[in-house]
Structure 1
């Protein structure tokens, strides 16, 4: 099972839902993300949020179409975190977050923190130009795809032992301190490559320039 969570981020940052749909996929709407799913002809299995981003007509339409899990505006978790908490209990093999980037930067950084909270789960944050993942120490293989640029950003004080193979700019056992831009905008030069490191928490961002099918 794959779970896709759609938040209320700007719709012009969100790729086509149909590209990611399938029989094994369950969709979850978060706040305005519910409205965007319904407009795309997709009925989510769950809908979470305070729904303060919907006007009265939109909210009435959504309430007619779905049973909503409504939360107060003042609470200790974001709407996205509530939805993600629910999703991780479903033992999904992959969770993707849409509508989690663009717009307000506090929402973006809050959603990155959720990737760290559930770092042991396979979670991707996806928009039209980027796929963001967060990793613990280990060895990982990635494959060339439509996102040609690969950046690595430490989100702990230090990342040690970083080794990149199959990249335009390889590294061997490199120390990357917090604040470093050494590993921004690399590229695979083979059909696949590996990255590995021995300590710290590392964010990988795969990016592309806009244009063509998104």
Structure 2
């Protein structure tokens, strides 16, 4: 396995769960996402971006990290460029840290990027520490969440034949149209098992934050 953690510029709460998830992974920082390296005890091997959101203090503190610099007027976000750099280095699993909790457009872009990568067969987790996101495609998905964690399933492409087990409000082969709120705010009662016949979306989970 070659897991990579991508450090993005959104909010991050360094929980014990998040520290365990990123432990042992290789790390690439996207622009201002480098600010999360020290709180998570991570050492980046590459720093990617146009560096318009990295403070001078951060740039000086991490001046020793190799950089891949891009112009401000580019066609891709720093985060997507960091993901591409990780894939070029053999990444077969990705953790996007700081993918949520910032600008809404950036958060949505990261969620859709996660879906695209999952469609390419790359396991991916998006996390702020406080909340986690998992792409949901046709097939099976199992999540190991702390007891009573809140979770919501967002039917971005609608859900056909959705089955949900290990939760307070289970479902069996249920259809959920785009825009429905039927699958929001459930509670995990153990390992969560999800099966989907067709469609796609995102699972947002809120593990109990155990701050270090």
Q: Quickly name the TM-score band, shorter chain normalised.
A: 0.7 to 0.9
1:58-207 pair list within 5 angstroms? 58-63=58-63, 65-119=64-118, 120-145=121-146, 148-156=149-157, 158-189=158-189, 191-207=190-206
Partner SS state of residue 33, structure 1? helix
1:165–1:193: 8 Å Cα contact kept in structure 2?
Answer: yes
Does 2:211 align with 1:213? yes
In structure 1, the gaps of 5 or more residues are: none
Aligned residue runs from structure 1 range 7-26, under 5 A = 7-10=8-11, 13-15=12-14, 18-22=19-23, 24-26=24-26
| Cα separation, 2, equivalents of 1:181 and 1:84 | 31
TM-score (norm. length: structure 2): 0.87
Question: Shift in Å at residue 177 of structure 1?
Answer: 0.7
CA contact (8 A) 1:162 1:197 kept: yes
What is the CA distance between 1:143 and its match in structure 2?
A: 2.7
Conserved 8 A contact 1:14-1:127: yes
User: TM-score of the superposition, structure 1-length normalised?
Assistant: 0.86
Cα distance between partner residues in 2 of 1:147 and 1:104: 28
